[in-house]
Structure 1
Amino acid sequence: MSDIASYPWVSAYPPRMVAEAVRLIGVRETVGAKDDPRIMGWAKEAGIAGYWADSVPWCGLFLAVVARRAGKAVPDKPLWALNWARFGRAAPQPALGDVLVFRRPSGGHVGLYVAEDATAFHVLGGNQGDRVCILRIAKARLHAMRRPLYRAEPASVRPYRMGTTTAALSTNEA
């Protein structure tokens, strides 16, 4: 898991969804039967009834609250990561703030692009090791790349390439 300081461009005029997501870095899911009140509050804020964090992966919930706070439309059934493949518009190449949708054995995962290296995307997301953080996810797992709709696209919405890293690849984000 990477530290936000490794991505200095994220704090210099980021797209609004990225700025909202960065504010949530470090939120952790409560271990055990007790649900984290912050995450439960996100469900209420996003208008998702009947949600409880211990039984439903919350990467889609994280993105729904980030998108709503940024004034963006949220796809139907946002808890299901693969539904984010209908968010915004198709992106021609990955760029800061794009929504990246990944396949995994038990379904999908969704998060925001902050950078990439030769083999992986660096993804800011929720429910990544039970917390909000940045992880490396193999490019081969990418299912969809979606750009938020902007009135005027921020200049910071562009690819950010990083050099070789020894950070591990995530294999299961739940």
Structure 2
Amino acid sequence: MNESALVEITRKWVEDVVVGYNLCPFAKRELVRDRVRFVVTDADNEESLLQALQTELLRLDDEPEIETTLLIHPHVLQNFTDYNELLSAADGLLTYLDMEGIYQIASFHPDYQFAGTTPDAAENYTNRSPFPMLHLLREASLEAAIDSHPDVDGIPPRNIELMNKLGAEKMRDILAGCMKATENPGE
């Protein structure tokens, strides 16, 4: 799959799932303003992925017009356990670059599984994406959005309730529909 197809599928997922179901009430504004950077890395090992992550963190520092970046890495860390283990190295990179408290890394993966849930639990779909990716967020923007939201603590339980209501089968179908985004352009 080429880079533009990977970006198109990911954008459709953000539009249809993240924004469409209001999983993140802060996402729509930045998507509409075209301040979300979608970038695909050809990294095929953890070291090259961490290098791509560093490049994107430095880009955020240099380009304030980019609010957030989705670093899509389809060729590495397909296994969720391996992916999850990399997250501590990603946080370590923030510390190494002296960017802790400036940026935050959120995690999305096709097989995302919250601790204490079964692999087929619908609530896992709040963080399930078409491809493994790292979401780079500006801490100051996130804090401002949280401060202006009337019930930020209610977001996770509302999302879990919504996913459980929709069910894992429906969410699998929705995610599969996003994967077909490049098959039927304009639909």
TM-score, normalised to structure 1's length?
Answer: 0.31
Question: Max radius of gyration: which structure?
Answer: 2
Greater fraction of residues in strand: 1
